[in-house]
Structure 1
């Protein structure tokens, strides 16, 4: 996997086909703040399945140990600017 690129929302939208077919991870920014990531996956279904399973187990462990709900955990990763709401 290549170096993380940082592109604006419009740039990502306008060149999505190119970015989605590439192998580099992308940080997508809006007004200078990262609002999301695109991380391309290798097409090894076994590896992807194992990674998703491990992620699920890890999230479950975090929820159990912290006492957080899924919604509370999701809020910790919500980078949206709430001032606009």
Structure 2
């Protein structure tokens, strides 16, 4: 797939258009390519599907081990509060 060449000012001015497009853009300055913009449409959806699958796997593992998620959250909050209190004491 051939990249469309555009000057940096045009790229900046029409950024929304290039984001919505599906072809890569070669950004130039004074005729020299300084970078490429490659849109990645659909990537967010794939990431979301992968995160949901990982979440389901984690839920199954925690359940199999008899771990209560609320206990983990409570432990995390305690540890966070302890580290925040320690950081505050060092700052004084």
Question: Scaled by the length of structure 1, what TM-score is found?
Answer: 0.48
The one of the two structures with greater contact order (alpha-carbon pairs below 8 A, sep at least 6) is: 1
Normalised to the residue count of structure 2, the TM-score between the two structures is 0.44
